[in-house]
Amino acid sequence: MTGLTGEKSVTERLVDLLRRPISDADRQRATRHLVDWIGCAAIGRTTETGALIEAEVPVGSTGSAQLFGPRMADPATAAFVLGGFGSVLEMDDVHRAALLHPGPVVIPAALAAASDTTSANDFLDAIIRGYEAMIRLGRATGPGHYAFFHNTATCGGFGAAAAAASLLDLDDAAFTAALGNAGSVSAGLWQCRNEPVMTKTLHVAEAARRGLVAARLAARGFTGPRFILEGPQGFFAAICPGASAEDVLSDAGAGWLIGETSFKPWPACRHAHAAIDAALALRESLAGRAIAAIAIDTYADAKLFCDRPRPETTLQAKFSLQHAVAVTLHDGAPPLDAFDIPALDRPELVALREISTVVATDAFTKPYPRHFGSAVTVTLADGATLSHSVADAWGDSENPISDDALFAKARALMQAAGLAPDRAETLITAALDLAGGGRLAPLRHAMAHASE
């Protein structure tokens, strides 16, 4: 039986892969994802969902893990709360082929596992390794898994465990045990997408906590299954129909996968971003002309998750292609409040949603998930048509976002969260300075005093 022989498991080989060298350029890339997460977490904390997550922090807690709020002496609570903050606004980073969001899981786990004396390189390396493990799992799970399971939740524990194990300097056996136990308790069902609930945020928060706890237990000698991925009752056999655990190790000689991770400029589901980009490109040509019909061509998963002509909640609006395109055509680049409840009832947006159709086409489905493309075609009242197609959304590696635009996004989110401009700049500078070495202490100090 698998697991009783002397061969290395897929998990053990993954640990070997995570030990490969990390360059200064990789670490610099990690600081960009850190800045992006800080902005997302800052605004996420101010939401109703963020407040409910933060209520898990015991009153009067003291300790060293803090972000814009009470200190959290318990690292597991810190990972949980910080994990919840980063995904609320749907602006967290995303890996297309893995269909998951690594930042809001991996970075909180790394922060919770670190201390003021942690070196900048060790911290950034932990983030890079966490992204790697999580993305590799997500890429391998296959469409049969994603049909029912939230990849960020099911694969997130692996990423959080890898980041924490890296910082805890676990040996190979303990590192493997951490990943094995994190995978053994994986969960995250997509039913939450079909109801107006907050569960998706809980998925992310729990994945961060689950991975951190697994690594901390492994550091104390708590053992875990070596063959959690390919075993007869393991992760792939149980919840990844038609997929192979060996695919976790594909492209083993390639660069670190954090470099393929996309940034999200718009406060909506990533499946809606290419359509937003296409609508934005069309908007100037409309010049106030009456619209008779809107056709949105996209890939099958985008239609499955985001074909919502009548959203009733903010979360549903973020997963509505019709609303995303309507607000972009009418108002331009969508701000944070474009998906809030008041916007859903605006007559002009309701009217545009009602004349919008969403179609999944082979042209966009076949390249997916390597490419998230979409086309928007507007038929005008005079019979003329205008169309624009986007192969890759803004923020993908083929259509990259500049540092200036990325940092502007972070500043805008922190400003919306009520942080003073000087505090926001201190946070951004402290995060970027990690690429130059030193210790984590300046960033932790900036985080601890950001909301003062």
pLDDT, one tens digit per residue, over 222-268 is: 999 999 999 999 999 999 999 999 999 998 878 999 999 999 999 99
Phi, psi values for residue 73, rounded to 5°: -70, -30
How large is the angle between the packed helices 103-113 and 199-219, nearest 10 degrees? 40
Mean pLDDT of the chain: 93
Mean pLDDT score, 303-308? 94
pLDDT in the model for residue 1:
40
pLDDT in the model for residue 71:
62
Per the listing, tokens 């505090």 go with 423
Tell me the pairing of strands 291-298 and 356-360. parallel
pLDDT of 64 over the 50 cut: no
Give, as one character, the DSSP assignment of residue 434. G
CA distance 147 to 143: 6
Q: Which residues of 40-63 are buried (b: 16+ CB within 10 A; e: fewer)?
A: bbbbbbbbebbeebbeebeeebee
Mean pLDDT score, 417-435? 95
CA distance 52 to 57: 10
Mean pLDDT score, 289-318? 94
Q: Which residue has the higher pLDDT, 177 or 69?
A: 177
Neighbours of 122 (CB within 10 A): 16
* Contact criterion met (CB below 8 Å) for 107 and 37: yes
CA distance 154 to 185: 9
Phi, psi values for residue 291, rounded to 5°: -100, 130
Each residue of 347-403: pLDDT tens digit? 999 999 999 999 999 999 999 988 999 999 999 999 999 999 999 999 999 999 999
Per the listing, tokens 């004396």 go with 117
pLDDT in the model for residue 284:
86
pLDDT of 27 over the 50 cut: yes
Give, as one character, the DSSP assignment of residue 402. P
pLDDT of 179 over the 90 cut: yes
3-state secondary structure of 56: coil
pLDDT in the model for residue 187:
93
pLDDT of 108 over the 60 cut: yes
68: left (phi over 0), alpha (psi -120 to 50) or beta: left
pLDDT of 4 over the 80 cut: no
Structure tokens at 78: 């810190």
